[in-house]
């Protein structure tokens, strides 16, 4: 709803998502939100004489917003944050977690990430959720799914709808190759 109205949250963390007793979801703490075209860039980054200081929750911050002078927040920023939250919910570990902050940031920028099912093999993570995490955590904002695609995929999973690939044969579909069929 917010994205359709040009508003980006820009600080989605587990602490800012409230789930009610009956599954209702509320997003709170819109303090860092920005309206596209408002001219206000709330990147959450301040330059310091000693380097870069990132406030808010950097483990949920998209890599394009880690350095000073980064791009304006947009829907891909929030999709990244939701991917990081989902990854942590599945694996009980934040994505890109390394020994030091600089190693974590380098891994984030390079997209050096173990899929959730490899990070927590004992958890029995569904491939649909794993794929959604990996897509949402892509370092390139253009390659991340839209918020609608993220929401729809997660909704289909929760409703236990299966992903299907439909292949049509015939005049307007694929050719039938008799060698592919066992008689």
| Amino acid 54: pLDDT | 43
- Beta strands at 34-35 and 17-19: parallel, antiparallel or unpaired: unpaired
Q: Is 146:154 a contact under the CB 8 Å cutoff?
A: no
* Cα–Cα distances in angstroms (integers) from residue 75 to residues 5, 61, 88, 104, in the given order: 11, 12, 20, 23
Phi/psi-derived region of residue 95, left when phi > 0, alpha when psi is between -120 and 50, beta in every other case: beta
82-105 pLDDT per residue, tens: 999 999 999 999 998 888 888 888
Give the helix ranges, DSSP H, for the chain: 75-91, 101-110, 116-119, 127-136, 147-158
Catalytic residue among 11, 78, 126, 179: 11
| Amino acid 73: pLDDT | 77
Residue 111: partners with Cβ closer than 8 Å, 6 or more residues away:
137, 138, 139
Asked if 29 is an active-site residue, the reply is no
> 104-118 burial by CB neighbour count: b if 16+ within 10 A, else e?
bbebbeeeebebbbe
What's the predicted TM-score (pTM) here?
Answer: 0.74
130-181 pLDDT per residue, tens: 999 999 999 999 999 999 999 999 999 988 887 766 666 767 776 777 777 7
């Amino acid at each position: 709803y917010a994205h359709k109205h040009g508003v980006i949250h820009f600080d989605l963390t587990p602490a800012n998502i409230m789930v009610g007793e009956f599954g209702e979801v509320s997003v709170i703490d819109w303090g860092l939100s920005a309206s596209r075209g408002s001219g206000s860039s709330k990147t959450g980054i301040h330059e310091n004489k000693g380097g870069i200081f990132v406030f808010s929750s950097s483990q949920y911050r998209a890599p394009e917003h880690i350095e000073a002078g980064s791009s304006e927040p947009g829907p891909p920023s929030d999709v990244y944050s939701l991917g990081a939250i989902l990854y942590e919910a599945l694996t009980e570990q934040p994505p890109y977690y390394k020994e030091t902050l600089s190693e974590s940031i380098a891994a984030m920028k390079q997209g050096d990430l173990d899929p959730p099912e490899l990070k927590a093999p004992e958890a029995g993570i569904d491939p649909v959720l794993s794929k959604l995490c990996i897509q949402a955590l892509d370092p390139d904002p253009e390659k991340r799914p839209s918020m609608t695609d993220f929401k729809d995929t997660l909704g289909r999973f929760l409703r236990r709808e299966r992903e299907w690939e439909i292949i049509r044969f015939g005049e307007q579909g694929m050719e039938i190759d008799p060698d592919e069929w066992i008689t």
